[in-house]
A and B are shown apart, each in its own frame.
Chain A
Amino acid sequence: MRRLLGCVIVIMTIGSDVIAAEVGMPQLDPTYWASQAFWLILVFSLLYFSISKFYLPKIKKNIDDRENKIKEDLDEANRIKNLSEQKLKEYQQILENSKREVTKILLDSKLKLDKEIQNIKEKIEKEIDSEVSKVQKEILIQKKDSINSINIISQDIASNIIEKLSGDKLNESSVKAVVEDISKKNIEKYL
């Protein structure tokens, strides 16, 4: 009950307040119009001048500076990128050149080596040939020598055999002639 009464009192006071206020709009009271106009013009013109003279140019400069900086940085980055690409190309060129050179050197040295090997091979073959022919000659000489000694031995044997069989001593020269004759006939067999 007490609460309700309180509510009613509050409603009444507020209601009367609202009604009282609606009687006159303070906006339409001309007492301070001149003051408001004066202060508005004063404050706003001060604000306008400070904004147009100080703040906006500064903000504009900041924005422009940032844009320029970004643009410059981008340009610089592009420049460096191009440079690096060029360098890369150069590097690849150099790499290719050196590769080609290496192959060339390899080929050259291989050819040279082959030639040298050929030369040495020929030389050695020649040496071997000469050695072989020398040795063959020696062998031939030794063969002839051996045939001679064989002839002498066979003469001796033959004269001895004849002497033992017949008891006569034969003329040495005739035995020699016979043996030589036979050996000459059969020399093809032994050589």
Chain B
Amino acid sequence: MQQFNVYKIGPEIKISGLDLSFTNSSLFMVLSATAIALFLFFGSKDKRIIPNKVQLISELLYNFVAKMISDTAGSKAKPYFPFIFSLFMFVLLCNMIGMLPYAFTVTSHIIVTLIMALFIFIAVTIIGFLKHGFKYLSIFIPKGVPAILLPLITIIEIISYLSRPVSLSVRLFANMMAGHTMLKVFGGFVISLGVLGGWLPLSFSVALTGLEILVAFLQAYVFAILTCIYLNDALNLHH
């Protein structure tokens, strides 16, 4: 669990009693953001008809996210495209950089994912109320439900709606933490079983690393697509 430790880098920054020091977590956030910025910079620098590799990948990502949004949330979600794109890229890069040895995984901390999920939740709720007013509350009343079941269903809907930020944040955090812990455990087995018996857990470790890279991408995708789905609920109220 050492790999999840957060520690201060540089001087202590305290603002009105809050410790806002620059930590290794902050460092890796900055690294991820810088990597994204650099990547997109080189991906959009040359205007070529036949794109180079970086440009090709950045345009593929652009089209990927654009298609994801238009498929799940329709054309009304166009203004939120930059946010979803940033979110997807940030989570993806944080996950991926976390896969490097000795790196810190920003998204393996519940507080980080919770803040992102809460922001999305609050933003989506505000958008819903701004677009539809109090009619937005009809999201809790599904159509075609018998009158007897309606109070129960409504309560369930409200609970599921309120648990969205929790499920969204815990999904990402738990996946990342579990993956890294598992890698660490198998790594520990390799050491403890030595040259003779360590090959089996080593091969597991290699396989798990591949799986974790897949999970890193998948969780970023899931995070982004769930955001799209929530946005869709707020934008297109058709229950």
Known contacts A27-B108, A48-B82, A63-B62; is-contact A36 B25 (Cβ 8 Å):
yes
Complex CA gap A55/B59 in Å reads: 11
The reply to whether A48 and B23 form a contact with Cβ atoms under 8 Å apart is: no
* B21 interface contact, C-beta 8 A: yes
* A102 interface contact, C-beta 8 A: no
Complex CA gap A37/B25 in Å reads: 10
Known contacts A32-B25, A51-B40; is-contact A44 B33 (Cβ 8 Å):
yes
**Contact bitstring A39-57, B, C-beta under 8 A = 1, else 0:** 1110110111011101110
* A165 interface contact, C-beta 8 A: no
* B30 interface contact, C-beta 8 A: yes
The reply to whether A44 and B86 form a contact with Cβ atoms under 8 Å apart is: yes
**For residue A55, which residue of chain B has the nearest CB?**
B40
**For residue B195, which residue of chain A has the nearest CB?**
A3
* A26 interface contact, C-beta 8 A: yes
The reply to whether A59 and B112 form a contact with Cβ atoms under 8 Å apart is: no
The interface size bin for chain B is 35 or more
Q: Interface stretch among B2-10, B126-134, B160-168?
A: B2-10
* B218 interface contact, C-beta 8 A: no
Which secondary structure characterizes the binding site on chain A?
A: helix
* B194 interface contact, C-beta 8 A: yes
Which secondary structure characterizes the binding site on chain B?
A: helix
Task: Name which of B37, B44, B85 has the most chain A CB atoms within 10 A of its CB.
Answer: B44
The reply to whether B83 and A48 form a contact with Cβ atoms under 8 Å apart is: yes
**For residue A38, which residue of chain B has the nearest CB?**
B20
Complex CA gap A50/B33 in Å reads: 10
Residues of A within 8 A of B22 (CB): 35, 39
Complex CA gap A3/B4 in Å reads: 32
* B36 interface contact, C-beta 8 A: yes
The reply to whether B59 and A27 form a contact with Cβ atoms under 8 Å apart is: no
Known contacts A36-B25, A62-B44; is-contact A26 B37 (Cβ 8 Å):
no
How far in angstroms is the closest Cβ of chain A from B177? Answer: 7
How far in angstroms is the closest Cβ of chain A from B20? Answer: 5
**For residue A6, which residue of chain B has the nearest CB?**
B194
* A22 interface contact, C-beta 8 A: yes
Tell me the B189-230 residues at the A interface (CB within 8 Å).
191-194
Give the residue of A17, A44, A59, A66 whose beta carbon is less than 8 angstroms from that of B40.
A59
* B116 interface contact, C-beta 8 A: yes
Where the two chains meet, the residues of B that have a C-beta atom closer than 8 Å to any C-beta of A are 1-2, 4-6, 8, 13, 18-23, 25-26, 29-30, 32-33, 36-37, 40-41, 43-44, 47-49, 51, 55, 58-59, 62-63, 81-83, 85-86, 89-90, 106, 108-112, 115-116, 173, 177, 185, 188, 191-194
Given A47-B36, A58-B44, 5 more A-B residue pairs with CB atoms under 8 Å apart are A7-B194, A47-B33, A47-B37, A54-B44, A62-B51
Question: Could you jot down 26 A-B contacts, CB within 8 Å?
Answer: A3-B194, A10-B192, A10-B194, A15-B192, A24-B1, A27-B111, A27-B177, A31-B6, A32-B6, A32-B23, A34-B20, A35-B22, A37-B111, A39-B25, A39-B26, A40-B112, A40-B116, A43-B30, A46-B33, A47-B89, A51-B89, A52-B83, A59-B44, A59-B59, A62-B51, A62-B59
